[in-house]
Amino acid sequence: GNESRVQAVYQITNREPLPPKAPKKLEDLWATDVFTLSKMQEYLPKSIFKSLKNTIQSGEQLDSSVADVVAVAMKDWAISKGALYYAHVFYPLTNATAEKHDGFISVQSDGSVISEFSGKVLVQGEPDGSSFPNGGIRSTFEARGYTAWDVTSPAFIMETDNGSTLCIPTVFVSWTGEALDKKTPLLRSNAAMNKAATKVLKLLGNTNVAPVNSSCGAEQEYFLIDANFANSRPDLLLAGRTLFGKPSAKGQQFDDHYFGAIPERVQVYMQDVEERLYRLGIPAKTRHNEVAPGQFEIAPFFEAANVATDHQQLLMTVLRNTAKKHGLVCLFHEKPFAGINGSGKHVNWSVGNPTQGNLLDPGDTPHSNAQFLVFCGAVIRGVHKYGTLLRAVVATASNDHRLGANEAPPAIISVYLGSQLEDVFEQIRQGEVKGSKCKGVMNIGVDTLPVLAKDPGDRNRTSPFAFTGNRFEFRAVGSGQSVAGPLVAMNTILADSLNWMADKLESELAAGTELNSAIHKILKEVMDEHGAVVFNGNGYSKEWHQMAVEERGLANLRTAADALPVLQQEHIEELFNKMGVLSPVELASRFETYSEQYIKSIEVEAKLVISMAKTSIYPAATRYLSELSNTILGLKELGLDFDTESIEKVASLTKSMMDLVSKLSLALSQHDFDSPEEHMQYLAKTIRPLMDSVREYVDALEGEIADDLWPLPTYQEMLFIK
């Protein structure tokens, strides 16, 4: 029956709310748990600090004598913060964060103990990472990989109820040098982009060019539901989404949740989260309700891509752990509930340096505008040439529910520029720039490139890849994903395009072409060859889906099963190899790992569908049928006529559901596949539709069966009771 539901509602209604924490001053919180540069300065001798700072800025290998001193200082600081353990934190291919804890404890020969932490263990660790997916790079008999401190991302203290741990962000590589994680390729992609961007900037006449870095600001959407409900739903516990559930009478149709007042319990939770984030040096900036009931968003201020990526992982951990403390469960699944919006993670991305500034920001002078157009053109070329790669890096079983479901960007990758910028690029394509559309600002004369207005103002929510004034926003990223993969793809395709531009510029300039004409010529070529990817209209419309594929030749890879094999294509392998981001072996290991994840997650869901239908829904249905039939028989004995329509309906729905469950079980026992591609297609085209059909009957039954017999917390309860 519905005892667990009644219990849950009772628990929630009578719950003692956690008191809100007294707000603290930002200065008192900010980065108190981070071993920041200023703390290093305080704890380290001058010369050591200088040497470490250099290493951080150049990203070079740390000198071992320096490392020893840094380790002792770091340990002293960590111990002063109450830490007894340290951990090398790394980012395996699972989207998760992994850590192995070791104590500072060292036992002496006389049995006494001291705390110890050497440069060697700070710089390098050796977790037994043999059970992380590595896509065949390491066979288990040589299952050792090692972690190495990434000095560009600061160490921090992670406080949990079980004590504090000094956490050291690291890369995770095999002894033969292959990247086993998501951080290593990110660092490499950034280096490749820096190299190419520097070349271009110099050709554009800049003499002083500081290293170019990519930046990332990620907007994280998530759902919060009470733990009492989540714990009585096997699907939420094991798959992170509801596999059954009839949409409640009220959903998001009134738009009353979006940007509405944040429920008090959630607000107390958010403040708790933000306090932890500030202590970790994560610049949480905006918070609000999202479109769906029970859905929220948090967006920190942008940071260097590498640090932002580590912080993104940490942010998800903090959101999840803090929820537990507040009796809530935080869901990062891309589609936890049918019928209402799912969750995404908009990845805002740009590139820049201290000398030239944000290179995707239209500037105040014709020179900086020209520079901006070059970088923007490079992005356009990259997205067109490698659009399917951008699709592949957001391809997961869970994100399939979102992409193309008319609430999130379509699976077709196009670029939105806004009307002003589109107009400028269109003029470039036509061969003559007359001026900029916006506010009539223009600057003709010596320079043929227009001055662009800072804020083009218009927004388009339906585009997967949108220019938003001074950055691009990649909106197809899933809420549960690491942002590393998307950033690696964006940096790498940009590096490739900038290299191409540098070569072109170089030969034009060598042939005596004047700089602005050369730029114009190259941008015209970009638009001629790649302008098809620019689309400012409604990305949800049927017309676009048809036009994109038939007229513009863009790919529409609907499922992850269609998109992941892109990682095996030759031109993708060549791209990553040439840019020094992923070797063919490393890329192959990614395909293998991600397709395995796709396969496993659908199989887990299918098994859950079967077991929940059999052990929860079927019993509820038969109990109800027995109740109904007893009633009808009783009434008949009394000579009363009773309508049998509802019993017939429940009986037939139950039978159809069980027939489909048998079909699904049988289909799932098929294990004979020649390749992961074939297996994925089978899951996408056969298993998923069968799961959906079972659901149809289950949800119909939910609308028929007595509520006090229904075993699972309903959408209404989960989304509206807090």
Shortest Å, Cβ 369 to ligand ADP = 17
Give which of Mg ion, ligand ADP, none residue 145 binds (C-beta under 5 to 8 Å, depending on kind).
none
Shortest Å, Cβ 466 to Mg ion = 8
Shortest Å, Cβ 289 to ligand ADP = 13
What is the distance between the alpha carbons of residues 521 and 515, in angstroms, rounded to a whole number?
Answer: 10
Q: Is 553 exposed, middle or buried (0-12, 13-18, 19+ CB in 10 A)?
A: exposed
Residues 6+ apart with CB under 8 A from 472: 348, 349, 350, 360, 379, 415, 465, 466, 490
Question: Which of 164, 271, 358, 616 touches ligand ADP (CB under 6 A)?
Answer: 358
Give which of ligand ADP, Mg ion, none residue 358 binds (C-beta under 5 to 8 Å, depending on kind).
ligand ADP
Q: Which residue is nearest to ligand ADP (CB)?
A: 217
What is the distance between the alpha carbons of residues 519 and 523, in angstroms, rounded to a whole number?
Answer: 6
| Tokens standing for residue 212 | 């170019």
* Contact window for ligand ADP (CB under 6 A) among 140-148, 336-344, 346-354, 441-449: 346-354
Shortest Å, Cβ 118 to ligand ADP = 38
Assess contact for 293 and 327: CB atoms under 8 A: no
| Tokens standing for residue 264 | 């008090």
* Contact window for Mg ion (CB under 5 A) among 2-10, 76-84, 163-171, 211-219: 211-219
Assess contact for 350 and 359: CB atoms under 8 A: yes
Torsion (CA) 459, 463, 465, 471 in degrees, nearest 10: 10
What is the distance between the alpha carbons of residues 313 and 332, in angstroms, rounded to a whole number?
Answer: 12
Cα 630 from chain centroid (whole Å): 53
Residue numbers 564-593 binding Mg ion by CB under 5 A? none
Shortest Å, Cβ 29 to ligand ADP = 19
Shortest Å, Cβ 217 to ligand ADP = 2
Residue window 181-220: x/- pattern of binding to ligand ADP, with contact defined by CB under 6 A: ----------------------------------xxx-x-
Residue window 311-350: x/- pattern of binding to Mg ion, with contact defined by CB under 5 A: -----------------------------------x----
Choose between 184 and 215: whose C-beta lies nearer to ligand ADP: 215
| Tokens standing for residue 331 | 């869901």
* Contact window for Mg ion (CB under 5 A) among 218-226, 416-424, 485-493, 655-663: 218-226
Assess contact for 7 and 228: CB atoms under 8 A: yes
Choose between 341 and 589: whose C-beta lies nearer to ligand ADP: 341
Give which of Mg ion, ligand ADP, none residue 626 binds (C-beta under 5 to 8 Å, depending on kind).
none
Residues 6+ apart with CB under 8 A from 540: 406, 410, 462
Please work out the total of residues on this chain that contact ligand ADP, with binding judged by CB under 6 A: 16
Verify binding: residue 302, ligand ADP, rule CB under 6 A.
yes
Cα-atom radius of gyration of the chain, to the nearest Å?
28
Choose between 286 and 670: whose C-beta lies nearer to ligand ADP: 286
Question: Strand 113-115 and strand 105-107: pairing?
Answer: antiparallel
| Tokens standing for residue 499 | 């290299």
Beta strands in 24-132 (DSSP E): 83-90, 98-103, 105-107, 113-115, 124-125
What is the distance between the alpha carbons of residues 650 and 632, in angstroms, rounded to a whole number?
Answer: 14
Give which of ligand ADP, Mg ion, none residue 409 binds (C-beta under 5 to 8 Å, depending on kind).
none
Verify binding: residue 286, ligand ADP, rule CB under 6 A.
yes
Verify binding: residue 221, ligand ADP, rule CB under 6 A.
no
Q: Which residue is nearest to Mg ion (CB)?
A: 346
| Tokens standing for residue 63 | 């000198």
Residues 6+ apart with CB under 8 A from 696: none
Shortest Å, Cβ 425 to Mg ion = 22
Residues 271, 225, 302: CA angle, nearest 5 degrees: 45
Give which of Mg ion, ligand ADP, none residue 217 binds (C-beta under 5 to 8 Å, depending on kind).
ligand ADP
Shortest Å, Cβ 459 to Mg ion = 9
Task: Write out the residues near Mg ion by the rule CB under 5 A.
Answer: 219, 346
Task: Write out the residues near ligand ADP by the rule CB under 6 A.
Answer: 215-217, 219, 286, 299-302, 346, 348-350, 358, 470-471
